Chain A
Amino acid sequence: MTLTKSADLVLQAERTRPARLTESLESLAALRNDGLTRSAERDLLLAYSPWARALNEANLHITVRPEEIAAAAEAYREVAGLLVTKLDWPNDTIRILPQGSASTQTLIRSPFGGEKFDVDAVCQVDISRVAAQDPMGFFQSVGDALEELEAEAKKRCWNIPFPNRPFYLEFTPSVPLNNVSQYTMESMAPRYRAAFAYRATALAVVDTPTERWKTSNPAGMTKWIDDTAKRPLIRQVSMETAVLREAKAEVVPVPEQAVEITDTLRVAIRLFKRHRDMCVRRGIIAGEAKPISIIIVTLLTSCYEGLADLGRVYAHPVELLDDLASLLAHLVLKLEDQYRVDNPTVEGENFAEKWNHDGGTRYRAFVAWCKALSADLKTILALTEPQEISTRVREVFGIPAPTTDGTGLSSARYPAPPPTRPGRGLA
């Protein structure tokens, strides 16, 4: 049988990882057997529910909701309007679309609030109809048009701060490659080629350090994640309603809600990204060496895809999360002494390129993070009291306890205002 690349990756990882997190845990070992009866499956659902509930609470807290992202659309329009006006481009030459975590629904909040979230947007320009064709001229013309928004140049995008909004915009000028002529394509000579399966959505963006065009494919990436996330890996999902109904009939305490975290790939991406951010807060990894989100996304999606390709089935999302976490550290390829996390949508692009030129700092940080993630999940899965599970999940993922608006507090009358107090001198 020919294995897919992702399936092969998973098999390799399985050979090198020490064990599943739950394997040694007595509380869960009994639940892990094949040929479950219906009532055993129900027991399993109930048994997993405290973890699922706690992880779901964390997931809900960190997720930037679609409506918040939609609010950024207004900002896109503002930017588009400026470009059309300032650059004198025809209205229909540009399209602005969200990309990255904003389009894959994996955008998360920073721990303890305070920091803005970044919305990535790509601005697609039909280059055959506009004047600027050399990469740096094209990039700069976009930046010049955005001057009044105080856009700041980064490696491949313009960062627009949007002071009074909860996000900033990372705005990447790009050229769709599917309709440029062969001649234009040759003159652009972008670094890397679009992977065949995702050619329709390939773009060229400007890589300012090399001053060259570079192939990119955010829409292809989004599609890959969407398609993968839809593949069923959880057996229980389809059965849950029946199981729960049966459970109710027998007056067994049931979870109040249906099985949570079933969108397990996205949940894993969000939770693991958040865990990485918390590891920076905890000093386990240095901020500048932390694994970048696209690496986490690529590894998790490849792993999920590989598990699906191998026909694996999980009884519960918690078990799948367990597998994803314990396999993660073993999913990075090392070929010819080079770390590799390949972009599935752009041939030859290695997201882990920097890992090969930093004396091992980033790889060590990645491994340390994976180790911390496994250790934390193992601690959580070893707990049995729902309250303890919930508390530990909050600690690990930096989730504040639920809040109320304090309206139940009794009101009190103020006494007369105090007389003016003397100020303090410096001493």
Chain B
Amino acid sequence: MFPQKPTSLIVSALCFYLVLTSISPLAIAQKKTAPVESTPPPIREEFKFGKIDLEVFEQSDLLDSKLERDGLVLHDESANAYLRRIGLSLVPKELSLERVAWNFRMLRDPQPNAFALPNGSIYVTTGLIFLVDNESQLAAIIAHEMTHVLRRHTYVQNRSNRKKFLTMNIMAAVGTFAPGGIVGAVITIVTAVAPFILMATVYGYSQDLEREADLKGVDMMISAEYSPEEMVNVMRLLDKDIEGENIRLFYNDHPSLEERIKYLSSYLGARADRVTQQMELNRERTAYFKTMEPVMRHNLQLSIMAGRFRSALFHAQRLVDFHPDSENLFWLAEAYRTLGPRSSQLTDKELTNSAKKDAAKKRVKRTLEEEEQDLLATPSGKDNWQTHQQKAEEFYLRALSAENPVPVIHRGLGMLYEKLGRANDAASEYGKYIELAPAAIDRERIKKRIEALRRT
């Protein structure tokens, strides 16, 4: 029988709506298995700007200036020009989009990431620059992000989110007003759970839009003579979890890596067969590393500052492999010194989802110094510490005999010796550093350290 009272009718209607919206993410997930088909080219301008879209557009411009003002945008002339060249080569020819001005910037952030603002600003973090192996892989990321702009995904997603939030608010109301009994209790429970599901879809784009960006990104890569296979390769790189921080949540906005590789490989099909000379050139690792080496070194510094010691070690080793007899040896030594008692790689056990969650909780509770002290109290921590300090010294000394040794090597040695309790050696190395780099930014800090060491 149908409910007779109007309030019951409203509650029933809202229940139906609630169930519908709760199931919709599952429906989206189901679509993932659908066969991959060719899609029309990304040039399609049927978008009509509404008031809400214009607000989002304004916010994007403000965000651009905020990122710049807060010192988060990296200024490296040659690397920026390189990034711009890659980005512009991907823009479909003779394309002009309303309220889009392409800008390609690097963010000073060691965590690999990239995002696009609807006004045409594409941001790639220095962590991502370091992670990829060649220009084609970077182009794959940029093409993916550009598709979000070309297809107006931010506006589409924002409109969709607003509907979801309206649902969430209505659900809250129903939860409060529902009469006692089973219906009220169920709604109250789902209201508590539903925001979680809804919120999960709020962060980032929906799986459908991400999938579209992946596939259209491939088309754009082919048009710009970048090997489309690199889109798949970069996916694999992004899954590399050096710091044990990729925690799989109940509902992820991006399709799973396996799923992405599967549909991308299926989509590539014969498209991957045609390999031009230019495509081969764009896959060259050496040329990419040569251009991005200063950015990579900058990122190493950021990684160490952010306590991402394992990433720093992994990337410093890659830099040394690329250009051994250079300043890169100093960065490898720094990575070993700051790694301290931590293991250089996480074990399989540490990479399980539950272990990562525990580690994330601990990271909020303990400072880096406390973490080191705790590890030093364990036999494996002590062993790691000894091994890493020895390696650090070895690489500092090798860096000193490399071409054009930089003064900071002495600072690194000073810090190493200070930690090892060799006060005189530490003071001597610090002294050499100040002598060789009298205008160093950390001069005061090192002078204070020398004074303290001489007092002991």
- Are A and B part of the same complex? no
Binding site for B on A (CB under 8 A): none
